[in-house]
Amino acid sequence: MIPTKVEISVDEKFIKDEIRRQIDASMIAQLWYCDAIKIAELTCLSVRFLEEHVFSDVRMKAIEIKRSRKRLWKAEKALEVIEQIFQEW
């Protein structure tokens, strides 16, 4: 019988990044409110682009919550509105 030798190399950085991505994905489902930076992360668009094309939209303004220079949107509603805006492009 021939002895077999199996070697497995593991890329720890890749595994850590993948775990972080999975955690972020599960947190998205649990988000209550999101700010401009979080929306930029989720959509892979810059905050500046979002300011010009999304946050200035009347529908986003209607669901915007302002508190001392901080703008928040209810996550579920914001994602629905952003989807509608993207479909119009």
Strand, helix or coil for residue 71 = strand
10-21 pLDDT, tens digit each:
788 888 888 988
- Say whether 73 sits in a helix, a strand or coil: strand
Do 63 and 74 touch, CB atoms closer than 8 A?
A: yes
Mean pLDDT confidence for 62-85: 90
Confidence class for position 28, pLDDT limits 50, 70, 90 = low
Mean pLDDT over each residue of the chain, to the nearest integer = 87
Residue 75 has pLDDT above 80, yes or no: yes
Task: Give Cα 54 distance to the centre of its chain.
Answer: 15
Amino acid at 66: K
What pLDDT score does 5 carry? Answer: 81
